Amino acid sequence: MTSHAMAATVHRTWAADLEPCILYELLRLRVEVFVVEQACLYSELDGRDLEDRTRHYWLGGNGNPKPVLGCVRLLEEPNGDYHVGRLCTARSARGQGRGRQLMEAVLGEVGDRTCVLHAQVHVSDFYRRYGFTPTGPSYDWYGVAHLPMRRTRR
């Protein structure tokens, strides 16, 4: 961490316990990164953020829940598999290990259970470091190349 980097704390909550102001900040960051910055015109609000088994993780600066420096969503599928998605960091917080902080927190909860994700191809090596392997060919999703990946530890 560089000397000007803000300390960041991982926060985690179930969807039902998510404060509206934090949900707003998570959605704002995801739209800022995925829709605006990456010029990917898709519907970010997919109906899964408030499902009973959804967990939200985010990085808050200096131990506080805001400002939100990064976030990730963990879904629990009906078959028991976990689905990691929407991992992103604010432009001002990149290059400081924030993505690693979030992935380590999420995978600490997932443990040895099967976990899937759809990685943007240009960052798929990041996920390979955590044991994810491709499960099919890359595909175009609203102009951004993605790769389906799975991590099985059982």
CATH (domain of 87): 3.40.630.30
Nearest C-alpha neighbor of 85 from the set 137, 146, 152, 135? 146
Report pLDDT for 149.
97
**What tens digit of pLDDT does each residue of 131-154 get?**
999 999 999 988 889 999 999 875
| Separation of alpha carbons 58 and 19, rounded Å | 13
Q: Tell me the whole-structure pTM to 2 decimals.
A: 0.88
Using the predicted structure, report yes or no on whether residue 8 has a pLDDT greater than 80: yes
Question: What pLDDT, in 10s, does the model give residues 92-126?
Answer: 888 888 999 999 999 999 999 999 999 999 999 99
Both structure tokens of 4: 């000007």
Residue, of 86 and 65, whose pLDDT is higher: 86
| Residue at 125 is within a domain | yes
HSE (side-chain half, CA atoms, 13 Å) at 124: 20
pLDDT of residue 115: 96
Q: Which domain holds residue 30?
A: 8-151
Alpha-carbon span 76 to 37, nearest angstrom? 28
Strand duo 133-134 + 115-120: pairing? unpaired
Q: Is 113 exposed, middle or buried, given 0-12, 13-18 or 19+ CB atoms closer than 10 A? A: middle
**Averaged pLDDT, 19-25:** 93
Cβ(113)–Cβ(99) below 8 Å: no
> Is 76 part of a structural domain of the chain?
yes
- Give the ranges where the chain is alpha helix by DSSP (H): 20-30, 98-110, 124-128
- Please indicate, yes or no, if residue 96 is contained in any of the structural domains: yes
Q: Is the pLDDT of residue 1 over 60?
A: no
2 falls within a domain: no
Per-residue pLDDT of 33-65, as tens digits, reads 988 888 877 778 889 999 999 999 999 976 666
- Count how many domains the chain has: 1
Report residue 85's pLDDT band, with 50, 70 and 90 as the boundaries: very high
Q: How far apart are the first and last CA of the chain?
A: 34
Cα–Cα distance for residue pair 53/90, rounded to 1 Å? 26
Give a yes or no: residue 3 inside a domain.
Answer: no
